[in-house]
Structures are given as structure tokens and as C-alpha cells.
């Protein structure tokens, strides 16, 4: 037999297993000799694995032979308890893709090739943004393991999602036209989400602000009825920006809807009896608890279908508020104050959609070209 090279460790052929077996001494603990055993189909493969183990030992890595990528994800996800629930849900959903493709692999055996193969498999049915999120989650989980000396290097940091790219195009945000907004409110009046849709579309409040709004923030009996938007469902209850804290006048139509909503909520409180949780929330579930964003989205989808208009998300009602006021002639700076943006540029470039029919060319082109136009 050929003499093994220096530092290779012991490598031999195991006929029963049909694989090469390698071992490296970890020293003596409590009078017993400890060894690390690896295996592979070829001698060079086992030798490479032994050298990797030696490098890990030199770097202080103490990962066990059973610590897998799924364990790494669990450990990192367990550190997210201070994050908003929506963020945690998003991360856990993306982590499912990682588990399905590489979760069973030993963390120390994971390679950049494995990560690229995972992203390539996911790319056909995933947007570029979602693909980046999957890679970022794996990278952060491995970084957390590095801090605990469970792996020597972060192979996910060697891969760029942009080199692969998702192929599924994301749906761009859009705005309802005035006739569509009227149809939406008509359909919403027959649902339990009526007041929510009205306040979002007529006042431009954020969905995260409305789900945190309390009745103590609402004044329906003053000379000028108002709602104060001072909290949100974000972590800590803070607002998105300093400009987000604002007090809005309520049109008579909205006041009537909110009064009817208050009476309906009182009936729900009586029906729930001792199960009711008095959180003083303007918008709550049948037991007084906070509304879930997913339930709001599903309810709005049903309302859209009933109205016979294109599907929209809750935040796009806010986009519609901006676009309809802009089309009616209100200045973008005034609209920016109403929606609580830190800059009119955000209102103009992100939220305002051109829903008006452009007709300025008709008169001059008709005059210049005569009857040909």
C-alpha cells in the first residue's frame, strides 16, 4: 500500500460499507482516545474531508457530527423573538425552502455549490426579491453559527442571488380609479370590513395604523370630528416616521360609518360575554382581539371579487387615496401631509398613480391636422 501523506490521517477501504473510511485523532479525554471519523466514495474525497476537519479544529470549530442546516436555522430563528410577528412569519416561511433543499445536510459539509443549486431550483417559481430573502436567511443563520464556533466559514456569503435571479415577476402596485373606488365601498357596505375600507380609502390611513387605533383616539362628537393616528402594530407600537403622527378630520360620511361600526361592535361585545377582551380597539375580531393582517387581506379579496374590480391589497387603498386626490387637482405636498409621508417625493414617485385620462393633445392636434384627427 502507498504510504499516506503527512496530515492525511488514517484512510482505509471498508469492503462491508463499500466506502473509504478516514479518521483523525482528537486527543485523549478522561483517559480515552477520541477520534473523528469521516467517509467517502474515493480516497481523495476522504482526504479532503480530513483536512477540512483539521482546519475546523485549528479554527476552534466545535460542531458535532450531527449538527445540520435545519438545526442551524432553528437556532437562528429562535433569536427573533423581539422582531414583529409579521417579520418572523416571513422569515420562517422563507426558511421552509432552505429546509426542503439543504436542511438535512451537515452544516460543516454544506458548500457554495449546494447553495447555488438550491437557488437555481427555486428561481423558476420565485421572484428575485424572494430569492434574495432565502439566501439572506441562510447567510444570517450560518453567521449566527459562526459566532458559536459551530462552523468555520459562511458558504452562503460566497453566493449572489443576482447571479441566478428569480423569473417570476412581482405584481406592481396600482391604484383604483374613482368608479372602482365607489364600487369597492358599495361592496364593503355589505361586509364586516366596511369601516376599515372606508377609513383607509377616504382618509388614507395605513393598515398598520388602523389595526392599532383605539376608540380614545376617535372624536365623533366634536365640532370637527377627528381621528388621531398616534400608534401602529409595529414592534414597540411606534409610527413609521415622525410625520406619520397626525390628526385627520373625518368627513360626515365616515363619521356615520364609524358610529354604525361602534354600535355593531357593542352588539358583538354582548354576544361574546365573558370571552370579550376589552382592548378599546376600533377594529378587532369577534372577541375584541387585534385583527390579523392575513384575515384583512382575505376579506378585502372577497370584497374586490364582489365588486367586480381588480384585486388590490390593503395598502393599495392608501395608494388610491393619493391618486384620486391628485387626479382631482390637490397638490402633492398637501396630500403628503395627509398621508404622513416624510417627503412629498415619496408621495409622488411611489404612491401617486396616473389614473386620469390625458386629453391635452386633442384640441391642438385636432386644430393642426384638421379633420384627419
Long-range contacts of 153-158 (CB under 8 A, 24+ apart): 155/110, 155/111, 155/112, 155/114, 155/115, 156/112, 156/115, 158/112, 158/115
CA distance 94 to 97: 6
Please state, in angstroms and as integers, the Cα–Cα distance from residue 157 to each residue in 113, 132, 133, following that order.
Answer: 12, 12, 13
Catalytic-role residue among 68, 97, 318, 352: 318
What gap in Å lies between CA 216 and CA 219, rounded to an integer?
8
**Would you call 92 a catalytic residue per the annotation?**
no
Active-site position among 49, 116, 211, 351: 351
| Residue 351 known to be catalytic | yes
C-alpha distance from residue 230 to each of 87, 109, 249, 305, 344 (Å):
22, 50, 14, 33, 20
187/203 Cα distance (integer angstroms):
18
Provide the 10 A C-beta neighbour count for residue 284.
Answer: 19
Catalytic residue, candidates 68, 97, 140, 341:
341
Active-site hit among 101, 116, 206, 261: 206
Catalytic residue among 105, 240, 259, 297: 240
Which of 179, 140, 177 lies closest to 156 in space, CA to CA?
Answer: 140
3 is an active site residue? no
Active-site residue, 32 included = no
Which three three-digit cell numbers place residue 354?
A: 396616473
* Residue 126 burial class via C-beta count within 10 angstroms: exposed 0-12, middle 13-18, buried 19 and up: buried
Active-site residue 196, yes or no?
no
Active site residues: 206, 240, 318, 341, 351
Amino acid at each position: 500500500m502507498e504510504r499516506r501523506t503527512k496530515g492525511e490521517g488514517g484512510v482505509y477501504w471498508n469492503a462491508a460499507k463499500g466506502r473509504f473510511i478516514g479518521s483523525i485523532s482528537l486527543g485523549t479525554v478522561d483517559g480515552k482516545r477520541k477520534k473523528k471519523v469521516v467517509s467517502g466514495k474515493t480516497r481523495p474525497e476522504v482526504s479532503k474531508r480530513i483536512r477540512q476537519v483539521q482546519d475546523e479544529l485549528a479554527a476552534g470549530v466545535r460542531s458535532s457530527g450531527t449538527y445540520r442546516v435545519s438545526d442551524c436555522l432553528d437556532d437562528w430563528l429562535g433569536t427573533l423573538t423581539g422582531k414583529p410577528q409579521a417579520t418572523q412569519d416571513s422569515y420562517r416561511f422563507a426558511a421552509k425552502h432552505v429546509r426542503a433543499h439543504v436542511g438535512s445536510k451537515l452544516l460543516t459539509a454544506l458548500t457554495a455549490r449546494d447553495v447555488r443549486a438550491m437557488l437555481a431550483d427555486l428561481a423558476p417559481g420565485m421572484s428575485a426579491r424572494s430569492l434574495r430573502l432565502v439566501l439572506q436567511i441562510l447567510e444570517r443563520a450560518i453567521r449566527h453559527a459562526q459566532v458559536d464556533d459551530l462552523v468555520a466559514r459562511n458558504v452562503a456569503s460566497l453566493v449572489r442571488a443576482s447571479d441566478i435571479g428569480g423569473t417570476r415577476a412581482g405584481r406592481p402596485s396600482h391604484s383604483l380609479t374613482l368608479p372602482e373606488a365607489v364600487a369597492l365601498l358599495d361592496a364593503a357596505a355589505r361586509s364586516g370590513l366596511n369601516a376599515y375600507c372606508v377609513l383607509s380609502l377616504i382618509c388614507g390611513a395605513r393598515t398598520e395604523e388602523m389595526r392599532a387605533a383605539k376608540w380614545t383616539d376617535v372624536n365623533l362628537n366634536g365640532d370637527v370630528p377627528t381621528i388621531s393616528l398616534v400608534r401602529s402594530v409595529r414592534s414597540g407600537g411606534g409610527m413609521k416616521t415622525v410625520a406619520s403622527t397626525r390628526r385627520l378630520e373625518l368627513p360626515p360620511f365616515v363619521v356615520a360609518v364609524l358610529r354604525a361600526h361602534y354600535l355593531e361592535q357593542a352588539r358583538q361585545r354582548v354576544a361574546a360575554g365573558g370571552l370579550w377582551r376589552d382592548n378599546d380597539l376600533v377594529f378587532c375580531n369577534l372577541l375584541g382581539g387585534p385583527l390579523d393582517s392575513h384575515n384583512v387581506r382575505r376579506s378585502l379579496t372577497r370584497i374586490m371579487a364582489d365588486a367586480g374590480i381588480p384585486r388590490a391589497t390593503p395598502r393599495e387603498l392608501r395608494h388610491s387615496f393619493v391618486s384620486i386626490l391628485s387626479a382631482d387637482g390637490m397638490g402633492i405636498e398637501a396630500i403628503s401631509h395627509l398621508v404622513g409621508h416624510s417627503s412629498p417625493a415619496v408621495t409622488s414617485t411611489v404612491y401617486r398613480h396616473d389614473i386620469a385620462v390625458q386629453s391635452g393633445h386633442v384640441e391642438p392636434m385636432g386644430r393642426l391636422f384638421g379633420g384627419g384627427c
